[in-house]
Amino acid sequence: MKKTSTRLADGRELIYYDLRDDTVRDAVDRRPLERTHTTSEIRRDPLLGDQVAIASHRQGRTYHPPADQCPLCPTEGDRLSEIPDSSYDVVVFENRFPSLAGDSGRCEVVCFTSDHDASFASLTEEQARLVLDAWTDRTSELSHLPSVEQVFCFENRGEEIGVTLGHPHGQIYAYPFTTPRTALMLRSLATHKEATGGENLFDAVLARELADERVVLEGEHWVAFVPYAAHWPYEVHLYPKRRVPDLLGLDEAARSEFPQVYLELLRRFDRIFGEGEPPTPYIAAWHQAPFGTLEEFDGVTRDDFALHLELFTIRRTSGKLKFLAGSESGMSVFINDVPPERAAERLREVAS
């Protein structure tokens, strides 16, 4: 992998990740852009104890542009985009309309390929490995920023999810705090560790799932399963079998096997609802240990956390979506219409 860092016309950082070491990236952003000004602010809810990002400048962000005006495609002739070069393998750049900025963290866009009509599932294993390497590099770099406590790499796919740009891409949020969902996991870790005399809860969960009927696919270094208490109609958790706190902890064997396992998982997701259905909308979310201190979680260290990816769709059956209505949105109590065992069975049925 070759990494080349440059700047866009408004000062934002852009990084090329290339498969070939001899690739030259010297194209200049020719757009007449002014410096980006954001209004991102973090406010804490005193009752729930969580944080909310207030970012009014995002109202003006790009919304469903025509394919020939996609800002994530390479620059071509007089059609200027966020990527100055005429081609690329993987690109990461600072979001022009970030939810988090400055002392409130940082937001980046990850373009998986220059092919506008592709998807992550259509990437080659070599391309998917390059994306993994880019995620890992960004996790390392962002963790050293003084305002960053947790790094979250994710992909939103499909208009049903709320995606406004059709080009295959994901995002990275670098939060200045430990996110509420991660905090819940850390508290459960601490409680279980104390109650069992030191047993790791992630290890216990993984051992249980490996022995149960909800395993979807398994490699030498990775396992994917539908969790016992899945929140979503089709939800899969992907774990490395050797517990590590973040992407940086993966060894070469796990990195080499990841593209094969993950691409197969995504391709199965696209076959859940049968032939002729539009691509399955999904969210793919990496859960990594925070980089800040964990003093409030008694007895828990970063090494107790288990890196994993959670993949789920909001489509519950053909032509129907799972909406977060009163119980889910009002009380955070999910009601799942698809038994996890049946979801796992279906995902095994659609193996290629």
Q: Which two tokens stand for residue 237?
A: 């958790």
Which residues have CB under 8 Å from 143's CB, separation 6+?
A: 151, 291
Among 169, 192, 221, 308, which one carries the catalytic annotation?
A: 169
Angle at 97 between CA 96 and CA 102, to 5 degrees: 85
How many of the other CB atoms lie within 10 Å of CB of 55? 20
Q: Rg of the chain over CA atoms, in angstroms?
A: 20
> Coil, helix or strand for 286?
strand
The verdict on whether 169 is a catalytic residue reads yes
Q: Name the E strands within the chain.
A: 2-7, 13-18, 41-44, 51-54, 90-94, 106-111, 150-157, 169-175, 215-218, 222-225, 234-240, 282-287, 308-313, 315-317, 320-321
Euclidean distance between CA atoms 178 and 151, whole angstroms = 9
Dihedral angle, C-alpha 183, 184, 188, 190, nearest 10 °: 20
The residues carrying an active-site annotation are 169
